Amino acid sequence: MAEKRYAGLSFEDAVQKYAKSVMTACTVRLHNRPDADDCFQNTFFKLYHHAPDFADENHLKAWLLRVAINECKKVLRDNRRLIPLGSVRGISDAPADDRYDISWALMRLEEKYRDVLYLYYIERYKVDEIADILGSKPNTVKSLLMRDRARLKEIYGGDDDA
């Protein structure tokens, strides 16, 4: 039996190519490495066992991110009565050596605001693509981006003195 291909990639190649994107999406969403690891693993398990045929690698990446976000939502729903460790210890300010990395600032936002900003700024998706991944309307994504940029600026700081 021939090895299954995912948009022309072997399973190992797909994992290697998209592991960082999926892990970052899970970590930003959950603030918790063990839960993020579980969601990461579940995402690639679903790729291996339940994936549809992909038109191209962009479709594969979008599918992986959609599945990862849904896996994170399941974990958050199942653990909603638990207190996140990050909220107890607090999240540190921006790392001095990496002032252009916004992932630390995204993790300080409420969870409902993270996905759109993560997909837009870190994964570099366009509004229509984000709407497709999240199952919402493009105008909703645009509205969220406008509001969430202000929240992100409060946390991250602006370019007022630059």
C-beta separation of 92 from 104 below 8 A: yes
Cα gap 153→128, rounded to integer Å: 23
Confidence of residue 44 (pLDDT cuts 50, 70, 90): very high
Confidence of residue 157 (pLDDT cuts 50, 70, 90): low
- Give the single-character DSSP code of 56: S
The fold of 94-156 is Arc Repressor Mutant, subunit A (1.10.10)
Domain edges within the chain: 1-90, 94-156
Q: Is residue 34 scored above 60 in pLDDT?
A: yes
Please tell me the pTM assigned to this model: 0.64
Confidence of residue 87 (pLDDT cuts 50, 70, 90): very low
Confidence of residue 26 (pLDDT cuts 50, 70, 90): very high
Query: Which whole number is the average pLDDT over 139-151?
Result: 88
What tens digit of pLDDT does each residue of 123-144 get? 889 999 999 998 899 999 999 8
Residue 60's pLDDT is 96
Cα gap 69→41, rounded to integer Å: 13
Q: How is 109-159 classified by DSSP, letter by letter?
A: S-HHHHHHHIIIIIS---HHHHHHHHTS-HHHHHHHHHHHHHHHHHHH--S
Cα gap 78→82, rounded to integer Å: 9
Confidence of residue 101 (pLDDT cuts 50, 70, 90): low
Architecture of domain 1-90: Orthogonal Bundle (1.10)
